[in-house]
C-alpha cells in the first residue's frame, strides 16, 4: 500500500474517505471516463499517433537549434539570450514534448511493428537518443530512466525522496520529476545526494539550498531563488556530462547498476562530441544559446513556466474538497501551440498514450472531468505558484 494519500472530507463531518495515491487517482478517473465515453476515447488511445506531425517538427526543431547555435557565434550575448528566449526555447520544448510522445508509444504509428528496416523498439531507441541532440544538458537521461516511473509513482512519498533518488540501486529513477520539483515544491523524506569527503558524509543539494531561501508571500524573491538554483544546477549538469564522458561513471548515482552508467557514458560522449563540434565551428556562444534555450522556458516570466511549475500541485477541488494532484493550463490556442500540448498535463496523466495534438479533445468528449474556459492568466498562475509552495502531487493532502 502506498503511503501518500489523497483525502476527501465530507461536508458534514471530518471523516476521511478512503485514501488513494495520485497515480491511482488518475487511474480511477480514466476508468470512469472510459465507462462513459469509451466509444470516443478508445480509438484515440488505440489508433491515433503524431507520426507525421511529430517527426516533421522534431526534424524542424533539431535543425533549427543546430542552425541557431551556429548563428549565435556571430551575435552578442544579449542577442543570443533574446534568440534563445524565442524561438530557441520553443524549439527546445517541442523537442522534449515530441520525444515524450515517442516514449509513451504515441509518436510512431501504432499499427506497425517495423519501419523500413528497423523494428519499432529499435527505431524508438534511435530517435530518443539522437533526437535529444543538440543540447546543453539534454532530456535523454530523464526520459529514458525517469519519466515512465513518474507516471507509476506520482504522489508516493517513498518514491519522491531526494535521498532515495540519489542512493537507489535501481536502474530507473523512482520518480524522475522529483529532480525538477525539488526546486519549487515541498517534499517528504531525507535530502540527497551525499558524498564522502575526507572520511565524512557531506550532503549537498542545490535544489534544497535554493528552496530553503523561499519566504511565504514573496513571489518575486521565490521566483529569483528558483531561477538561480535551477539554472545553476542545469549548468553543473553540463559540467557533469564532461566528467561522465571521460570517466564512464555518473558519480551522483553511485549505487546504480553498470548498465545505467554505461548508457550515461554513451550518451554523454556523443552529446559532448556534438557540443564540441558546435563550439569549434561557432565558439562558446553556441553552447550559451543551447543552455538558455533549455532553461528559459522553465523559469519566470516565460509563459511556458506557468504550466511547468503547476502541473503537479495540491489544489483543492472546489466541489468535493478533495486534493487534485495534477492540473492543466488553458490559455488559448496559441499557448497550446507554443507548448505543443504540454499544457494538457492532467489529460496526459489520464491517458498517457493519446498523442500530443489530440489531448485537447478530451475536454470536449468528457467536459465534466476538466475545467471550462481558455482564459488562464499565465502570469497570475506564476504569481500564485511562487507565493506559497505546495506539496508535490498531494503528497500531504491532509493539509486541506
Model confidence over 89-118: pLDDT tens digits? 999 999 999 999 999 999 999 999 999 889
Q: At a CB cut-off of 8 Å and minimum separation 6, what does 265 contact?
A: 244, 245, 247, 248, 249, 250
Q: At a CB cut-off of 8 Å and minimum separation 6, what does 116 contact?
A: none
pLDDT class for 194, splitting at 50, 70, 90?
Answer: confident
pLDDT class for 396, splitting at 50, 70, 90?
Answer: confident
pLDDT class for 377, splitting at 50, 70, 90?
Answer: very high
pLDDT class for 394, splitting at 50, 70, 90?
Answer: very high
At residue 15, does pLDDT exceed 90? no
Angle between helices 120-130 and 258-282 (to 10 degrees): 50
Q: So what's the pLDDT on residue 187?
A: 93
Q: Are 162 and 205 in contact (CB under 8 A)?
A: yes
Q: So what's the pLDDT on residue 198?
A: 82
pLDDT class for 202, splitting at 50, 70, 90?
Answer: confident
- CA nearest neighbour of 191 among 215, 211, 166: 166
Q: So what's the pLDDT on residue 159?
A: 79
pLDDT digits (tens, 9 = 90+) for 307-327: 999 999 998 888 777 899 999
SS3 assignment, position 288: helix
User: What are the distances in angstroms from CA 396 to CA 14, 110, 127, 235, 392?
Assistant: 16, 38, 38, 31, 8
User: What are the distances in angstroms from CA 372 to CA 31, 79, 292, 331, 362?
Assistant: 21, 39, 34, 11, 12
At residue 12, does pLDDT exceed 70? no
Q: Poorest-confidence range of 7-16, 89-98, 148-157, 289-298?
A: 7-16
365 vs 320, higher pLDDT: 365
Q: Which residue has the cell 564512464?
A: 248
Categorise residue 197: left if φ over 0, alpha if ψ from -120 to 50, beta otherwise.
beta
pLDDT class for 19, splitting at 50, 70, 90?
Answer: low
CA distance 140 to 307: 21
Q: Are 288 and 80 in contact (CB under 8 A)?
A: yes
At residue 6, does pLDDT exceed 70? no
Start-to-end CA span in the chain (Å): 22
Mean pLDDT, rounded, for 185-197: 88
Cell numbers representing residue 139 in the block = 532530456
Mean pLDDT score of the chain: 92
Q: So what's the pLDDT on residue 201?
A: 84
pLDDT digits (tens, 9 = 90+) for 255-294: 999 999 999 999 999 999 999 999 999 999 999 999 999 9
Categorise residue 323: left if φ over 0, alpha if ψ from -120 to 50, beta otherwise.
beta
CA distance 228 to 389: 17
DSSP E strand boundaries for 277-334: 315-316, 323-324
pLDDT digits (tens, 9 = 90+) for 162-190: 999 999 999 999 999 999 999 999 998 88
For the purposes of burial, counting CB atoms within 10 Å of the CB of 292, is it exposed (0-12), middle (13-18) or buried (19 or more)? buried
pLDDT digits (tens, 9 = 90+) for 336-362: 999 999 999 999 999 999 999 999 999
Q: So what's the pLDDT on residue 383?
A: 98
Helix (H) or strand (E) run with residue 230 in it: helix 219-247
Q: What are phi and psi of 100, to 5 degrees?
A: -65, -40
The model carries a pTM of 0.93
pLDDT class for 197, splitting at 50, 70, 90?
Answer: confident
At residue 203, does pLDDT exceed 90? no
Percent of the chain surpassing pLDDT 70: 94
At residue 32, does pLDDT exceed 80? yes
Q: Are 22 and 6 in contact (CB under 8 A)?
A: yes
CA distance 132 to 216: 37
Apex CA 154: angle with CA 334 and CA 307, to 5°?
20
Q: Poorest-confidence range of 50-54, 187-191, 219-223?
A: 187-191
At residue 88, does pLDDT exceed 60? yes
Q: Which residue has the cell 475536454?
A: 363
For the purposes of burial, counting CB atoms within 10 Å of the CB of 87, is it exposed (0-12), middle (13-18) or buried (19 or more)? middle
At residue 400, does pLDDT exceed 50? no
Q: So what's the pLDDT on residue 17?
A: 37
pLDDT digits (tens, 9 = 90+) for 112-133: 999 988 999 999 999 999 999 9
Amino acid at each position: 500500500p502506498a503511503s501518500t494519500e489523497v483525502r476527501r472530507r465530507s461536508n458534514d463531518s471530518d471523516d476521511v474517505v478512503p485514501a488513494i495515491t495520485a497515480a491511482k487517482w488518475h487511474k480511477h478517473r480514466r476508468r470512469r471516463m472510459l465507462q462513459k465515453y469509451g466509444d470516443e476515447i478508445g480509438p484515440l488511445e488505440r489508433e491515433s499517433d503524431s507520426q507525421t506531425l511529430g517527426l516533421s517538427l522534431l526534424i524542424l526543431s533539431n535543425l533549427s537549434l543546430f542552425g541557431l547555435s551556429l548563428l549565435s557565434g556571430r551575435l552578442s550575448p544579449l542577442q543570443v539570450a533574446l534568440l534563445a528566449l524565442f524561438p530557441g526555447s520553443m524549439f527546445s520544448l517541442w523537442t522534449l514534448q515530441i520525444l515524450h510522445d515517442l516514449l509513451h508509444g504515441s509518436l510512431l504509428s501504432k499499427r506497425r511493428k517495423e519501419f523500413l528496416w528497423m523494428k519499432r523498439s529499435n527505431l524508438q531507441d534511435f530517435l530518443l537518443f539522437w533526437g535529444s541532440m543538440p543540447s546543453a544538458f539534454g532530456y535523454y537521461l530523464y526520459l529514458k530512466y525517469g519519466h515512465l516511473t513518474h507516471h507509476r509513482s506520482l504522489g508516493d512519498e517513498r518514491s519522491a525522496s531526494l535521498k532515495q533518488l540519489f542512493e537507489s540501486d535501481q536502474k530507473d529513477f523512482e520518480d524522475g520529476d522529483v529532480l525538477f520539483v525539488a526546486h519549487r515544491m515541498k517534499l517528504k523524506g531525507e535530502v540527497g545526494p551525499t558524498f564522502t569527503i575526507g572520511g565524512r558524509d557531506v550532503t549537498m543539494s542545490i535544489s534544497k539550498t535554493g528552496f530553503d531561501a523561499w519566504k511565504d508571500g514573496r513571489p518575486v524573491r521565490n521566483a529569483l531563488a528558483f531561477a538561480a538554483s535551477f539554472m545553476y544546477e542545469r549548468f553543473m549538469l553540463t559540467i557533469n556530462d564532461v566528467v561522465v564522458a571521460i570517466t564512464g561513471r555518473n558519480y551522483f548515482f553511485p549505487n546504480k547498476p553498470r548498465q545505467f552508467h554505461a548508457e550515461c557514458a554513451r550518451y554523454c560522449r556523443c552529446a559532448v562530441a556534438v557540443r564540441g563540434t558546435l563550439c569549434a565551428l561557432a565558439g562558446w556562444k553556441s553552447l550559451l544559446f543551447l543552455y538558455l534555450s533549455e532553461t528559459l522556458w522553465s523559469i519566470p516570466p516565460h509563459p511556458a513556466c506557468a504550466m511547468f511549475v503547476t502541473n503537479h500541485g495540491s489544489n483543492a477541488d472546489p466541489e468535493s474538497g478533495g486534493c487534485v494532484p495534477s492540473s492543466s493550463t488553458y490559455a488559448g490556442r496559441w499557448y497550446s501551440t507554443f507548448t505543443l500540448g504540454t499544457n494538457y498535463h492532467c489529460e496526459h496523466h489520464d491517458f498517457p498514450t493519446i498523442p500530443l495534438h489530440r489531448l485537447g479533445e478530451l475536454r470536449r468528449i468528457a467536459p465534466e472531468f476538466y475545467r471550462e474556459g481558455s482564459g488562464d492568466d499565465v502570469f497570475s498562475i506564476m504569481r500564485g505558484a511562487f507565493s506559497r509552495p505546495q506539496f508535490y502531487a498531494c503528497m500531504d493532502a491532509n493539509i486541506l
